[in-house]
Amino acid sequence: VSTTVPYDDKLLRLAEVLGSIHYLRNICGEKSNKWRDQMEQLLTVENPEPLRRARLIASFNHGYRTFDSVYVTCTDQALAAANRYMAEGLSLTREINTRYGE
């Protein structure tokens, strides 16, 4: 039986957004694992049980794969998408922390 928390939908979306940013920022010149590391940090903080952990990782990977089939090089559209996703990620993080943080 998999457990859930009230903010799982937002957390799953945040994981997907992090995967998207990881792909987009790397094709646009940011050669780092910063966004993957953010995902690792999220998993560490949440310490989810195995099924929930697998769903979060699948969301991250889905976000990554969503763009690896669309953009192979950095374009203005890829940069715009990265910026939109960064804003969404910040918004989700703030909302989760404000509503559910301790």
pLDDT tens profile 45-92:
999 999 999 999 999 999 999 999 899 999 999 999 999 999 999 999
Global confidence as pTM: 0.92
In order of 11, 30, 31, 33, 54, the CA distances from 26 in angstroms are 22, 5, 5, 8, 24
Integer CA distances (angstroms), 55 to 2, 30, 71, in order: 10, 27, 25
